[in-house]
Structure 1
Amino acid sequence: MSVQERKARERAERERLIVATARELAEHQGWDAVTTRRLAERIEYSQPVLYSHFRGKREIIGAVALEGATELAVAVRAAAAAADGPRARVTALARGYLDFAERNPAVYDALFQLDGGLAYAQDDTPEQLKDAFAALLETLGEVAGDGVPPGLFTEVFWAALHGLATLTRAGRLPRQDADWRVELLVDRLAIV
């Protein structure tokens, strides 16, 4: 291994450590607790080292969001793949999405609430975000209905899921009715 390869590997490891530490801190104490000073202390590197990887908190949020998008895509694909039939797949996808949002609130915030400097639905949208949308589209496109563009249907269904996740987490919707809401959403929107 050359010196350059070793340095590149060490740099990538430091970057992963920064992102993992930011994510852990945000999950336990909220994003307000994630500061460059605190991160530098936690990873035992100086702030200039941290800034050599990320220009600031915004870029760190973006890195957490990209990691989360990959995990979300895996979660909804796995949920849908475990179900049999279009309706069951859509229901499983919806539950998988909502479970992901509940289990990973700081990541979900990085993806959809905070400014991580990422472009959504643009030509320069990062591949991880495109893949997360594709993971939804793969299943939801099956049930869009005649004459309805699958991408547009996926956006509407995703918006409904996002609303359910956000309102439930904020305590605006009682958790005990979550399964009923998913069934209602699938019954009303998915053409099977």
Structure 2
Amino acid sequence: MSITERRHRERAQRHDLIIAAARNLAEAEGWDAVTTRRLAEIVEYSQPVLYSHFDGKDAIVRAVAIEGFVELAAAMQHARSQGGAPAAALRAVCGAYIAFAAARPALYQAMFALPVDVKFASAETPPPLQAAFAELVGVLRPFDAQPDQLAEVTWAALHGLAVLCRGGRIPPQGEDARIDLLVNRIIVGGTGAGR
């Protein structure tokens, strides 16, 4: 391995370490606790080293959010592939989305609540965001010939359920029934091709 290759590998490892530290700190103490000073202490690099990777906290949150979309897309893809028939796959994907949001609240907050410089629904949308949305579109295609809008509404419903449950506005014990209701409404309202 050349010196240049080794330096690139070490830089990538530092980059990943900073992102992991930010995620762990945010999950443990919230995003307000995530500062470049704290991260520098945790990863045992100077603040200038952190700034050589990221312009500041906002850039770190953006990187965390994009990583979150990679994980969300993978979780939904796995659920869809294990789901079986279209209705069961839709139920599995909705359940995977809600479970993802509940299991990683700080990550989910970075993805959907914190101000990040990430474009949604545009030509500039990063591939991980496109992949997550494509999972919803794919699982909804059997129920609607034009599933993009249905995917937006489903995403909004799932996001609302996740946020309301996390905030204690609705009780967590009704989660399965709410997902079933959402899935049944999508099935009844769609073309019925996948029933």
TM-score of the superposed pair, with normalisation by structure 2: 0.94
1:187 corresponds, among 181, 184, 189, to: 184
Q: Which moved more, 1:33-42 or 1:1-10?
A: 1-10
The match for 1:6 is 6
**Which consecutive residues of structure 1, in runs of 5 or more, have no partner in the other structure?**
none
Distance in 2 between residues matched to 1:84 and 1:95, nearest whole Å:
14
Report the Cα distance in structure 1 between the residues aligned to 2:67 and 2:142, rounded to whole angstroms.
27
Match of 2:67 in 1: 67
Q: Which amino acid aligns with 1:122?
A: S
Which residue matches 1:54?
A: 54
Out of 140, 148, 151, the position equivalent to 1:151 is 148
SS in 1 for 2:83: coil
- Give the structure 2 partner of residue 171 of structure 1: 168
Matched residue type, 2:113: Q
**CA offset digits 1:137-161 (Å, max 9, x no partner):** 11012222x5xx2111100011000
Give 2:65's aligned amino acid.
Answer: A
- C-alpha distance after superposition, 1:61-102 (max 9, x if no partner): 111111110110110111121122111111111001000000
Question: Post-superposition, which runs of at least 4 consecutive aligned residues in structure 1 deviate over 4 A?
Answer: none
Question: In the TM superposition, what are the counterparts of 1:39-118 in structure 2 within 5 Å?
Answer: 39-118=39-118
Distance 1:83 1:128 in 2: 22
Aligned-partner SS, 1:173 = coil
Cα distance in 2 for partners of 1:64, 1:93 equals: 22
Matching residue's letter, 1:167: L
Q: Distance in 2 between matches of 1:117 and 1:27?
A: 21
State the alpha-carbon separation in 1 of the partners of residues 179 and 23 from structure 2: 28
**Counterpart mapping for 1:7-22 below 5 A:** 7-22=7-22
Per-residue CA deviations over 1:103-138 (Å, capped at 9, x if unaligned) read: 011111111111221111111111111111111111
Residue identity in the other structure for 2:51:
Y
For 1:124 and 1:84, the matched residues in 2 are separated by 33
Match of 1:121 in 2: 121
Distance in 1 separating the partners of 2:21 and 2:74: 22
Q: Is the 8 A contact 1:86 1:139 kept in 2?
A: yes
